[in-house]
Structure 1
Amino acid sequence: MANYIYAVKGNEIYVNLFTNNETEFNLSKAKVKLKQETNYPWDGNIKFSVTTTVKNHGYVLKIRYPGWAHNEAIPSNLYSLLENPNEEKRIVILTVNGKVTPLKLDKGYIVINRKWNTNSI
């Protein structure tokens, strides 16, 4: 299963699955350590911690935008999830280092393109 959690292409790290883990990538002259902490699927809170060997290292983190977060059963408009009036509306909030950040979506992924430092969250 470990090979399905992440994918790397150039300076992009794709997060495909949500599970507690820690891994390391070699990206353009820097080692990047990524730690994922979550209680998923019991709640939707997912925390990523970044450690890098190069200060202000620029790369892209692409996190899969799960269908349930936007009422989509499968990637199409054929089916949708039934709304439960007793359930809170699902809202995705992205924070980077404690600051709310607007969601940028591309082909089913939340895109975070920035210069990372050690201890970025």
Structure 2
Amino acid sequence: SGDGVQVHLYEKSTAAVDFKGSTVKIEQETDYPWSGEIVLSVKTEIEEPFSIYLRIPTWADDFSIRVDGETLDLEPQNGYVELNRNWRGSHRIELSLPMRVELVESHPFVRDNLGKVAVKRGPVIYCAEQVDNPGFHVWTLGVGSEDLEEERAKILDRDVVFLRGTGKALVTSDWEGALYRNISEPKEKVAKFTLVPYHMWANRQPGAMVVWLRKV
């Protein structure tokens, strides 16, 4: 922008931005979105103060920022925090975003999702794939608010975060091929489940997948 440099996305990268007749070099070190820790190294010869704007995602309900070791108390404006100072020389910005595992719901008018929840961690939505959950059909899985364990694993040789937990799956063996029947008390069984990032599904073997899970 005219009064500063905006950082929209977080990724291990190096950018050289032409600004005020000089260059602002910003190098990012991060494992985002698996980690919420982001370090930006800023180098420039611009002598007058200007602003660096950092995007704060709407899901990040709390965050922390340090500049050259000093913790700053800032509130986002229109999705960004503004860091205004003299940046001449070399400076270090540390941004920490929360990576909590949370359940989300959709509007009641999304009728197919009534009584269901999705699981997210930071900005990443998760799904259950049949390949990871052979003991039950993933369409029958129900989850609650229990804590989920995080585990680093690989899909297509890429490091990602898996989520593991214990929920309940519907028992379907007593349906004996019927499509409909008179209502009865549903039978459930304990189900240890694994969730993977939604954007990485269908990269291993064919099988069922589900994002919206029964809330139990």
In 1, distance between residues paired with 2:48 and 2:42? 11
Q: CA deviation at 1:25?
A: 1.1
- 1:106 CA drift (Å): 1.1
| Root mean square deviation of aligned Cα | 1.4
Pairs within 5 Å for 1:45-64: 45-54=37-46, 56-64=47-55
* TM-score, scaled to structure 2: 0.40
- CA–CA separation in structure 2 for the residues paired with 1:61 and 1:52: 12
Structure 1 counterpart of 2:177: none
TM-score (norm: length of structure 1): 0.70
* Unmatched segments (≥5 aa) in structure 1: 1-8, 71-90
Residue in structure 2 matched with residue 119 of structure 1 by the alignment:
90
What SS does structure 2 have at the residue aligned with 1:69?
A: coil
Pairing 1:1-121 to 2, within 5 Å after superposition: 9-54=1-46, 56-70=47-61, 91-121=62-92
1:30 positional shift: 2.2
Deviation at 1:29, TM superposition (A): 2.7
Choose between structure 1 and 2: higher strand proportion.
Answer: 2
Identity of aligned residues (%): 30
Q: With a CA cutoff of 8 Å and minimum separation of 6, indicate the structure with the bigger relative contact order.
A: 1
Task: Please identify runs of 4+ aligned residues in structure 1 that moved more than 2 A.
Answer: none
Residue aligning to 2:208: none
Q: Distance in 2 between matches of 1:28 and 1:119?
A: 17
Q: Which structure has the greater CA radius of gyration? A: 2
Letter matched to residue 63 of structure 1: L
Paired with 1:57 and 1:37, the residues of 2 have a C-alpha distance of 26
C-alpha displacement of 1:120? 0.5
Distance, in Å, in 2 between the alignment partners of 1:11 and 1:28 is: 9
Structure 2 SS opposite 1:120: strand
Q: In 2, Cα distance between the equivalents of 1:92 and 1:101?
A: 11
State the distance in 2 between where 1:31 and 1:11 align. 14
